[in-house]
Structure 1
Amino acid sequence: MLHGRTTLSKFLIEQLKDSADRQALAALLVDVAAAIKAISAVAAKGALAGQQGTLDTVNVQGEAQKPLDVLTNEIILRHCDWGGLVAGMASEEMDEPFEIPSEYARGKLLLLFDPLDGSANVDLNSAIGTIFSVLEHPHETAPALPDFLQPGKKQLAAGYAIYGPSTILVLSVGQGTHGFTLDREIGNFILTHPDMRVPVETSEFAINASNERFWEPPMQRYVEECKAGKTGPRGRDFNMRWIAAMVGEVHRILIRGGVFMYPRDNKDPSKAGRLRLMYEANPMAMLIEQAGGAASTGRARMLDQQPEELHQRIGVVLGSRAEVERIESYHQNFDAGTDKPFISPLFNERSLFRPEARA
């Protein structure tokens, strides 16, 4: 496979030529890529397209919708509903699964997607993207909600697009993780990042530190150890990053390593996490694992989780395997009552912040 000369279509033909079902998957991914090209063109226009600001509507999560949220959702539906490839679709922006119009043939695949990840960044001209997951429809009849509720290990394909200085599509069909850059002059995605690999170890982590007071003790321990740097038990300095868009965080990890954490916390006890399992955590977990990394809830492998709801939330830890395994061990030790809380040497001997010092 020649680096820089292989188009997405050629790549998919080579990877998915074994059977008619695999060829249908390839055709669906081409349709998804066409939708991503259309979204890229709209997103690149920014305020010129009138897509900034916030609407008066909210999605099923209770989050205010951006004009681009609604438009990108419609773009994907319209590119993928007509070809006889999908049995149904589900999206962050729709309460219930989308039914294929009766005038179109129904296929054997299920498409789930977040049409605009990081939409809060739209007005800032910062990182945004699209995340998608493909499952097999297990029955001949029209899909019902339970048909979508499959663990991530059953995904046939997963991917994301990131809309930045260039538009990059990263995907996996179970044979590694590969990146394609959109060549706007010819209108094709070209293979530019074959067989992406996540370094086993890292000195970089990403987390929203403003939520620290709500984290569980194992997560507080891990981050405090990283922040302590050379003076702490890790014995080396770490850098902290936060883009506020999962596509940006995962793309950085695939390019240069790291660990991304959006753990469950007690800020809202009714929610088991912030990110959605079906169309955010699962597809990203597949991509990371296919690139040699690891993805976890903090306590167990992400792709083994059995979904209970379409819009289910979950805690997410993914990236370089050594760091993910360390975080899992901290949670296991905490649950077993055998962990030792980390105390920063900066405040160990004397500090105005120690309780005995304030007494």
Structure 2
Amino acid sequence: MGKAENSRIALPVGSNLDRFIMRNQEDFPYASGELSQLIRDLAYAGKVVNREINRAGLAGITGAYGAENVQGEEQQNLDVAADIRFTRALKKGGEVAAIISEEAEEIIDLQNPRSKYIVAIDPLDGSSNIDVNVSIGTIFSIYRRVSPLGGPVQMEDVLQPGKDQVAAGYILYGSSTMFVYTTGKGVNGFTYEPSLGEYILSHQNMRIPENGSIYSINEGSFNSFPEAVQDYVNTCKEREYSARYIGSLVADFHRNVLKGGIYIYPSTAKAPNGKLRLLYECNALALIAEEAGGAATDGKGRILEIEPSELHQRVPFFVGSKAMVEEASN
């Protein structure tokens, strides 16, 4: 993947997302306009979801939906709302053939058989934190389909390794809303200005510090961590690193990108394969981490090299500052 400095056209901080996409069109794989429009569709849906989140308490749409998703996790009302918003935006945009979503057991066929792209998405990560007003997010991966256009989407289109992503990103809904993405030419962040209805370039060529002093892990499960992870956590304590764990993957990851640190969700007794999903959580953040100078592994090997075998596959996840990830991985 290219480094941040490889981006061909630099725009000043303060440029809006549409202008940035247009000026950097030639950096997009297979540049022909479809990927540019797809990123715009995701950004637009993020604006709608941001509005829903901001008015959730007043509109009475916080709390549990009353059903479980395919993961066996209790769905929140906003999980369902976000899934609908993103699915609708991508279907109407016409650039996506199918979606893999955390909220759906099977592939969602958008009935756009001539569309070139597949999107894997967690529409609302950390949604259990909505009721307590903690930052949450959206995570997405974009793949180019490999089966012939015009025919039905095949499993080979969606079960691609992370190294084959053509773009990935996340939207952070917090004290400000940010849209962060990469197309393999560095990572750029845009802050949403609600009075203008625009995402404004605020974090250009984002870089993760080589090392850091923050570790993010749920220490409540410490006794069931692998011994190597226990040893690493104890090392962090001996060095008097700061423990910071929000419980929203996007929020923890975003902080560590900016300040330097490591996020770990290892295998545990309850989740021997880890808890986070490869296709629509780990691959996207791993690509962003690497493009920003960081690293991501499953504790042993590179996340982006893993060949997926199922839609909702789980993996252990170590991501963040390169030196920290390398030390924590064995």
Residue in 2 aligned with 1:334? none
Residue in 1 aligned with 2:318? 317
TM-score, normalised by the number of residues in structure 2: 0.93
Residue in 2 aligned with 1:257? 260
Residue in 2 aligned with 1:79? 89
Matches within 5 A, 1:159-174: 159-174=169-184
Q: For residue 126 of structure 2, what is the amino acid of its counterpart?
A: G
Q: For residue 91 of structure 1, what is the amino acid of its counterpart?
A: S
Residues 314 and 20 (structure 1), Cα distance of their counterparts in 2 relative to 1, 3 Å cut: closer
Structure 1 residue runs of 4+, over 6 Å off?
none
Which protein has the bigger strand share? 2
Matches within 5 A, 1:228-267: 228-229=238-239, 237-267=240-270
Q: Distance in 1 between matches of 2:175 and 2:121?
A: 23
1:152 aligns with 2:159: no
Residue in 1 aligned with 2:7? none
Residue in 2 aligned with 1:4? 13
Q: Contact between 2:70 and 2:104, CA under 8 Å: does it hold in 1?
A: yes
Residue in 2 aligned with 1:286? 287
Q: Distance in 1 between matches of 2:178 and 2:271?
A: 34
- Partner-residue secondary structure (3-state), 1:116: strand
Tell me by how many angstroms 1:139 deviates.
Answer: 1.4
> What's the CA shift string for 1:68-108, capped at 9, x where partnerless?
0000000001111123311111100001111113xx56310
Tell me by how many angstroms 1:145 deviates.
Answer: 2.6
Residue in 2 aligned with 1:34? 44
Residue in 2 aligned with 1:134? 142
Matches within 5 A, 1:115-134: 115-134=123-142
Q: For residue 295 of structure 1, what is the amino acid of its counterpart?
A: A
- Give the RMSD, CA atoms, in angstroms: 1.4
- Unpaired stretches in structure 2, ≥5 consecutive residues: 1-9
Q: For residue 312 of structure 1, what is the amino acid of its counterpart?
A: Q
Q: Which of the pair has more CA radius of gyration?
A: 1
Q: Contact between 1:200 and 1:322, CA under 8 Å: does it hold in 2?
A: yes
Q: Distance in 1 between matches of 2:97 and 2:139?
A: 19
Q: Distance in 2 between matches of 1:30 and 1:73?
A: 17
Q: For residue 120 of structure 2, what is the amino acid of its counterpart?
A: L
Q: For residue 164 of structure 1, what is the amino acid of its counterpart?
A: G
Q: Distance in 2 between matches of 1:20 and 1:202?
A: 33
Matches within 5 A, 1:27-66: 27-66=37-76
Q: Distance in 2 between matches of 1:134 and 1:105?
A: 16
Q: Distance in 1 between matches of 2:103 and 2:189?
A: 26
Residue in 1 aligned with 2:115? 107
Residues 147 and 20 (structure 1), Cα distance of their counterparts in 2 relative to 1, 3 Å cut: closer
Q: Contact between 1:89 and 1:98, CA under 8 Å: does it hold in 2?
A: yes
- Partner-residue secondary structure (3-state), 1:162: strand
Tell me by how many angstroms 1:167 deviates.
Answer: 0.6
TM-score, normalised by the number of residues in structure 1: 0.86
Q: Distance in 2 between matches of 1:106 and 1:113?
A: 21
Residue in 1 aligned with 2:6? none
Residues 61 and 19 (structure 1), Cα distance of their counterparts in 2 relative to 1, 3 Å cut: closer
> What's the CA shift string for 1:123-180, capped at 9, x where partnerless?
0110111000000000122212332000000000000001112110110010001100
- Unpaired stretches in structure 1, ≥5 consecutive residues: 230-236, 332-359
Tell me by how many angstroms 1:20 deviates.
Answer: 9.0
Q: Contact between 2:177 and 2:192, CA under 8 Å: does it hold in 1?
A: yes
Q: Distance in 1 between matches of 2:188 and 2:236?
A: 30
Residues 281 and 45 (structure 1), Cα distance of their counterparts in 2 relative to 1, 3 Å cut: same
Q: Distance in 2 between matches of 1:27 and 1:261?
A: 34
Structure 2 residue corresponding to 1:219, chosen from 223, 226, 229: 229
Tell me by how many angstroms 1:183 deviates.
Answer: 1.2
Residue in 2 aligned with 1:94? 104
- Partner-residue secondary structure (3-state), 1:71: helix
Q: Contact between 2:208 and 2:293, CA under 8 Å: does it hold in 1?
A: yes
Tell me by how many angstroms 1:204 deviates.
Answer: 1.1
Higher relative contact order (CA 8 A, sep 6+): 2
Aligned residues: 318
Matches within 5 A, 1:167-186: 167-186=177-196
1:24 aligns with 2:24: no
Q: Distance in 2 between matches of 1:29 and 1:19?
A: 11
Q: Contact between 1:91 and 1:113, CA under 8 Å: does it hold in 2?
A: yes
Q: Contact between 1:84 and 1:105, CA under 8 Å: does it hold in 2?
A: no
> How many percent identity over aligned positions?
39
